[in-house]
Structure 1
Amino acid sequence: MDPQIGTGPVRLEIVVASVRAGRVAPVVAHWFAETARRRAEFDMGIIDLADTPLPQDLSGGPEVDAFTRRVGAAEAFVVVTSEYNHGYPAALKTAIDTVKHEWRTKPIGFVSYGGLSGGLRAVEQLRQVVVEVHMVPVRESVSFHRVKHAFAQDGTTTDGAAIDAAERMLDQIDWWARTVREGRARTEYPG
């Protein structure tokens, strides 16, 4: 193996899926972003779909071009998602469908939140969808049940299971992203 492959930080994009007024998403996303920023193996950015106008008819345009380039430059993703009516937000489906080849082979993790279900039903649906665009969903995920009670005023949490799951998920994302780097250096993805 080439000693230079995999030595730089992994470009991780956190995608904030909810676009609703009064959403909790920024609190959850900020907490996760701070967790990822403490780790030197990641170079991290945040794509907030509330600030990313993508046409529902998938027609293209400058916003779509910029979004596609950003997805293409990333090596891994974490989606922060709520659960609406047992599913994930429509804005996230539009984002996934807007881009095609740029998602391929990239690992993806999920941080979900909601009421009693903690967004887990949305994540189960997302796992099926992202496989169709050739992404690799990692096994570990983070879930906040009763999210309005999960965070202190300063945006921190004492939820030990979530804190531990976030670290393990980041370990898995890092491993997959570096493995994909090595594979891409050897040969083109056949998908």
Structure 2
Amino acid sequence: MKLVLASSNHGKLEELRGLLADADIELIAQSDLGVADADETATTFVENALIKARHASQLTGLPALADDSGICVDALNGAPGLYSARYAGEHGNASRNIDKLLDAMKDVPDGQRGAHFYCVLVLLHHANDPQPLIVEGQWHGRILHARRGDGGHGYDPVFFDPQHKQSAAEMALDLKNRLSHRGKALAALRQRLQAGAR
């Protein structure tokens, strides 16, 4: 199956390609096909993913896979949430986003630093598909007081997994892919596809 990924985020593309390496799916970035990012105008992750998938499918004629994801921090009432990629104002500036999050959390004690990554994946077989395939995944942990590790992308250096006692940026890629919100969502998608979901 050839799919257009409704994202220009190369970190996300590489992560999803790695997770799909043994599946019969070829993932092509929309930017490689001359498609710009859609305007994310909705108020939920799933609606934004649908907007992105429909936009990419309409412009390429291909089935589209879209991801909308973010980090939701308990002490901040779920923020940055939908606005995770542009939390500090400039879309995709991970360093500034982390700085803003650490500043917002500077007086929050350890016991109240809970957070989770959330991901929804939407697969549209065509732009007007009335029955999109929708799956989700979550990864629970807490926010560190400072960055740890130099792997991963986005908020990985400040997201701590208490079970493995590592930040997401310190983890081996295969472990992160098993635990992550995106890995869980993609596993659910593969399961649905293998079960014959159209």
Whether TM-score is above 0.5 comes out as no
Q: TM-score range by the shorter chain?
A: 0.3 to 0.5
Greater strand share, 1 or 2? 2
Please give the TM-score of this superposition, normalised by the length of structure 1. 0.41
